[in-house]
């Protein structure tokens, strides 16, 4: 009986052990909402430590609404409880401030430069499976992602 129970107990734990450090390789849909921000993104994590994706951001603060849509490329690495990403290319394709377009202006260039200058970002992985993960950045913002 004890031997059977031990084998059954081990078998019951297999799904948890198998997903203790699930892969992030593939295409994901992510979202992050706060009082002032709405960020929607798709990202494809590749085995070679590179990623690429699109973002759709709305920031509303002090009566100003900024909307951006664009694409980016980054490098990434994952430890069991931490995701590190560094954006190394960005292209803002649409940018409006209070409804007025700022594409092709110094404002667009300054925003792209500022996003690239952020450098390495580290997020804690607070939930993870083969089909979903939840991140918390250093400012406490929560992002949830689901696999396509």
Domains (range + CATH), the chain: 23-147 (2.40.128)
- Give 15 or 138, the one with higher predicted confidence: 138
Residues contacting residue 131 through CB under 8 Å, at least 6 positions apart: 146, 147
Q: What is the pLDDT of residues 47-100, one digit of tens each?
A: 999 999 999 999 999 999 999 999 999 999 999 899 999 999 999 999 999 999
pTM of the shown model: 0.81
- 137: which DSSP letter? -
| Nearest residue to 130 (alpha-carbon basis) of 16, 11, 10 | 16
Structure confidence by residue, pLDDT tens digits, 87-132: 999 999 999 999 999 999 999 999 999 999 999 999 999 999 999 9
């Amino acid at each position: 009986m004890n031997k059977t129970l031990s084998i059954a107990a081990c078998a019951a734990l297999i799904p948890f052990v198998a997903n203790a450090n699930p892969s992030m390789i593939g295409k994901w849909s992510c979202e992050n909402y706060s009082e002032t921000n709405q960020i929607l993104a798709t990202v494809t994590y590749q085995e070679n430590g590179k990623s690429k994706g699109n973002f759709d951001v709305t920031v509303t603060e002090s009566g100003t609404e900024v909307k951006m849509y664009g694409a980016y490329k980054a490098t990434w690495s994952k430890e069991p409880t931490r995701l590190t990403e560094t954006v190394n290319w960005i292209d803002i394709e649409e940018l409006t401030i209070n409804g007025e377009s700022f594409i092709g202006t110094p404002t667009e260039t300054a925003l792209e430069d500022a996003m690239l200058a952020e450098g390495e970002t580290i997020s804690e992985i607070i939930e993870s499976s083969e089909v979903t993960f939840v991140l918390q950045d250093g400012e406490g913002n929560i992002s949830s992602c689901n696999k396509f």
